Amino acid sequence: MIRFNQIVQLFVGSRESLSVSQMFRQRANVGWVLRFAVCLFLPGSLVAISEDTLSEEQFEFFESKVRPIFVEHCYECHSEDADEVEAELLLDSKWGWITGGESGPAIIPGNLDESLVIDAVRYQEDKVTAMPPRSKLSDKDIAILEKWVQMGAPDPRAAKKSTKPAANGFNLEQRYREHWSWRPIAEPELPWVENNAWPKSGLDRFILQEIEAAGLKVAPEADRRTWLRRVYFDLIGLPPTIEQIADFLNDESENAYETVVDQLLQSPHLGEKWARHWMDLVRYAETYGHEFDYPLRHAHEYRDYLIRAFNADVPFDQFIREHVAGDLLSEPRQNPDEGWNESIIGTGFWYLHEATHAPTDVLGNEADIMDNQIDVFGKTFLGLTIACARCHDHKFDAITTADYYALSAFLQSSCRQEYPLDPSGKRIEATQEIDRLRKSAANDLKSVDRLGEKNKRSGDYYRVAMQTLAAAKSDVAAEVLLQKSAEAEGLEASRLQSWVEKHEAIKNSVTDAGYDLENQNVLVDFHGGSLPEGWSTSGLAFLPTGSDLGFAADGGLLTPDTVDSGIGGKKQVGILRSPTFEITTDRIHVLMKASPNAAVRVVIDNFQMAEFNALLFRGTFMNNKGTDTRGEWQWKSLAGDLRKYKGHKGYLEFIDPGDATIAIDKIVFSDGGPPGKQRADQSKFNADALNVLHDQALSDLKSGASNQFLSALLKNQILSIEELSPLAAASLGEAGKLAEKMPPVRRVIAMAQGTPEEAHVYIRGSHQNPGEAVPPRFLEALGGEAGTRLELADRVASDENPLTARVIVNRVWHHLFGVGIVPTVDDFGPQGLPPSHPELLDWLATDLVDSGWSLKHLMKEMVLSSTYRQSSVANTGISEKLLASVDPTNTLLYRMRVRRLSGEAIRDAVLVASGRLQPKPFGPSVATHRTPFMTGRGARPSGPLDGNGRRSVYLSVYRNFLNPFMLTFDMPSPFGPKGRRSNSNVPAQALALMNDPFIIGQAGVIADQSLAPPDQTREQRIAIMVERIHGVVPTEQQIQQLQQFLDVQAKAYGKDDNRAWADLAHALLNMKAFYFLQ
């Protein structure tokens, strides 16, 4: 282990190289930067990787990108299962392309020009026969193969000639029976150990047993400062402060360690640390990526949900159910402070995938997205590479291609929604009160005996109004005639004026119920006011009217043959969603009444990017002027590109974003124009007819039948509620005030249940070649029962599932000990590595389930163990030769591993050291600070350099503009699940710590704060600075060396120049004692 004084000597170093002072002044000097990087990153204990071993990224690239191309386009002629192998070339094994066919080796790793397969797929003349023979591969597929060859053609398949029989040979039961991870969890007995005084926990016995069996000894216990810094970073991702260190060192009680752990487990920062681990798994991002990197709205709400869930220690089985089917839980978990539905937010993880705004093949795009969703689901919860079965039965694991498509059926039967949260339940409370007031007004209106003498004379008003309009030659003449006519007929001039102004509105508002719907394909007729089977709603808008009389947001009476988003007020939010249907016509016509901000769209093949898919589906999305009917019932049509998608599946969505209203009467499919709609013409408005209609309106009012005419009179102010019923008017007035005060809405990405569907198995993974249909069901190896998505969630979270508990305890172990008991944390299959301590894995899994799936219980068990308390320096009683021969990679954990901090932890620790960390939790992310090199389409305004002092988990994650500092320290790109980050040790990290403006700026802040107290000596300031940054107290010798460093810098800058102290802080931030955990 390199000690502090040895690291300091690296800074003052040899006279032959640049002095430290020159280094800090000449930041642009590449030579010194590289020399400094070499000094900082001298190799320590690096694990060598065999050239034949594929990295996780290489394996993923081949299995998810390359193999599907070979399967779909090449295996028919170039595999052992082919009826006749063409040109003696096999591409279903590594051995096949290495050996090659009649023309020699098919692929030369790293050399595109010499690789015959590349020549063939490029369709290059005068070289080789173009392949595949039927049609050229897409440019995307060719690019994948070219990249694969440039990568060195990594291939996990056999490099020796296959001896397998011609038959398929896939035996599900045999694979299930032979592989360890499919076997039921069995709680093992605690093993006997010789050193019985060492174990503090049952897990220690399993570790010690293996160490003793190998003839090794455990390491001594780490000192208190080392353990405290370790457990702080591991549990909350932050270093302990000087005060927290002092408290722990002064606590001499027997439970001092447990007290610290209990405090950390209750810290709100724990959720921030462990949410980031989970975000790696679900490929969390806030943009879609691709060309324009469009925003993935409300993604931060899912991140905040994770933080709250980990802080609340939500049982992990409940956590799973919320992710897989949180929208279907009968008793969803409620936020304890705000009262909103927490469970449904978990389903947002399904939709954090990347997306393109204009896929040329929408069905193929849906297949690719589901592939990503299944990959995330399988690896995250089960540790299985289920997505490898997209094109064929899994080559290694007990997973069939039917399993893959059975899971995809759950996704095809679901859809994405933007679910409106209701903080503190205020919106539902207001809605319920508005509903009560509207029903009260309706009941008051039903008790009216007559419409009133003034309204009984509506026919007189109409006759005089028409006569006035016919006789008038100008607006002035009409006004004079109107006044005279009113006096002559004994009518009120103001009411007569209303008739003149509104008669056209009445004419256009009253419809004849007999519009011609014969020979029309009617999707839905909302007669009766209830939602037909298969229709669903999100939010509080679009409540069906039922048979009760109600009032719409525009003031008119609701009829029982419509659904209206304004029934609960103008500020309600919601979506009305149709069942899934097959598109068979050129147009979809909707009889509707809507305001400009409402929206209507057809979602085709589950593809939706909100407003960003207009380029792809022209004419299938309406909003703004497209939906504005100016207060009238009108037919609106969805057409345009719809005809291109005949035979595809789709569903309709009617969207009220909260500042609109939209009512729907009927929906019709047609290849032509909308159905003819007959409007009541003027001939129907003679005096006698109006009196009859008044009587009919009163009869309808009492019977609950259609009130279109009365509604038109009310809305157009010919008839007033006040005159009919003062009580009803008062209730409606109060309801209107409540609606205006409706609190703002918060939206989250979530899943919603759609129309249940079977999925077709795509032959060789091609969506253009559908095979047999399979129902939604779980993996056959785990029972394969069909059911709903909620039942799927229950089976994943079941105590009887052998995978789920093992996978999550292994993840927690990985994050606390540096390497999982199963090192391949995302792959528990035959291609993954076996567990180093299988009995320990089962003991921990059993303990987790027995604790009620409490992750905090599991964490406490681990960090209080003697195994975790070990020093990272091996026991001096063991020879290095023995260690190298018995356990060179420390698999047995005879000492704790030295681990580098993540980029997030490094940045957060810098903010703690500078005192600039803002503890504020939750809320929208802080925009990424863009460097001059971060350019391109979709670039957003740059955020502050220090991220406003927020923790790194609250920084934006833009797929096309990822934080370069985080990437340097191995933050994964958010495109697939990543349970184990790379742990690189490269010069770029030294360059980042030396040259990043954020690090340099915070070093200056640390310096200013160190110089602020007026009564401290130079030695005291140095000691405090070191303890703030490294968590240790420097020795006298170390203080002396650092004073010499300051003297050298002072000569360069000037005696009282604070930059010397800033350089000291910067140097301390660059030492391994800062960004490594011992």
Q: What is the mean pLDDT of residues 878-902?
A: 93
The answer on pLDDT for 309 being more than 70 is yes
What's the pLDDT at 459? 57
Give pLDDT, residue 688.
41
What's the pLDDT at 356? 86
With a cut of 50, say whether residue 164 has pLDDT above it.
no
Closest CA to 1035 of 1026, 1045, 1044, 1047: 1026
Question: Percentage of the chain with pLDDT > 70?
Answer: 81
E strand or H helix that includes residue 655 = strand 649-656
Neighbour-count burial of 992, counting CB atoms closer than 10 A to its CB (0-12 exposed, 13-18 middle, 19+ buried): buried
Q: Helix (H, G, I), strand (E, B), or coil: what is residue 369?
A: helix
Distance of CA 487 to the CA centre of its chain: 70
Give the tens place of pLDDT for each residue, 11-55: 433 333 333 333 333 333 333 333 333 333 333 333 332 335 677
Q: According to the model, what pLDDT value does residue 449 have?
A: 58
Contacts of 341 (CB under 8 A, 6+ apart): 332, 333, 334, 335, 419, 421, 422
CA distance 79 to 157: 13
Residue 790: both structure tokens together: 């909620």
| Helix 242-250 and helix 224-236, axial crossing angle in degrees, nearest 10 | 130
pLDDT digits (tens, 9 = 90+) for 686-728: 444 444 445 555 555 555 544 555 665 565 555 667 767 788 8
Dist CA 156 CA 159 (whole Å): 8
Cα 622 from Cα 637, distance rounded (Å): 9
Give the 3-state secondary structure of residue 774: strand
Spatial CA neighbour of 58 closest among 15, 19, 109, 126: 109
Asked if the bond preceding 532 is cis, omega within 30° of 0, the reply is: no
Q: Around Cβ 72, how many Cβ atoms within 10 Å?
A: 21
Per-residue pLDDT band for 372 (boundaries 50, 70, 90) equals very high
> What pLDDT sits at residue 380?
97
For the entire predicted model, the pTM comes to 0.81
Q: Tell me the mean pLDDT in the region 366-388.
A: 95
Backbone angles phi, psi at 539, to 5 degrees: 85, -170
How far apart CA 50 and CA 765 sit, in angstroms, is 32
Distance, in Å, from the CA atom of 316 to the CA atom of 852, rounded to the nearest integer, reads 8
Q: What are φ and ψ of residue 63, in 5° steps?
A: -70, -35
User: Where do the domains of the chain lie?
Assistant: 4-46+994-1077, 56-155, 426-450+506-751
Tell me how far apart the alpha carbons of residues 577 and 201 are, in angstroms, rounded to a whole number: 54
- Angle, nearest 10°, between helix axes 789-796 and 316-325? 150
Per the DSSP assignment, residues forming a β-bridge with 104 are: 101
- The pLDDT assigned to 23 comes to 35
Query: Higher model confidence: residue 505 or residue 387?
Result: 387
| 477: its two tokens | 């003449």
Strand, coil or helix: what is 514? Answer: coil
CA distance 859 to 845: 12
Query: Is the per-residue pLDDT at 508 higher than 80?
Result: no
pLDDT in tens, 110-142: 888 888 888 888 887 655 578 888 788 888 888
pLDDT at 22: 37
Q: How far is Cα 1053 from Cα 1040, in angstroms, rounded to an integer? A: 20
Q: Tens digits of per-residue pLDDT, 311-369?
A: 999 999 999 999 999 999 999 999 999 889 999 999 999 999 999 887 888 899 899 99
- Measured CA distances, 747 to 236, 346, 421, 574, 750 (Å): 28, 13, 6, 10, 9
Dist CA 475 CA 481 (whole Å): 10
Strand partners, 650: 581, 604
- Select the highest-mean-pLDDT range: 382-386, 500-504, 745-749: 382-386
Domain range 426-450+506-751, CATH architecture: Sandwich (2.60)
CB 660 within 8 A of CB 596: yes
- Three-class SS state of 997: helix
Q: What is the mean pLDDT of the chain?
A: 83
Reported as a single tens digit per residue, the pLDDT across 819-859 is 999 999 999 999 999 999 999 999 999 999 999 999 999 99
Q: What tokens appear for 329 in the block?
A: 């839980």
Q: Is 907 helix (H, G, I), strand (E, B) or coil?
A: helix
Q: For residue 35, what pLDDT is reported?
A: 33
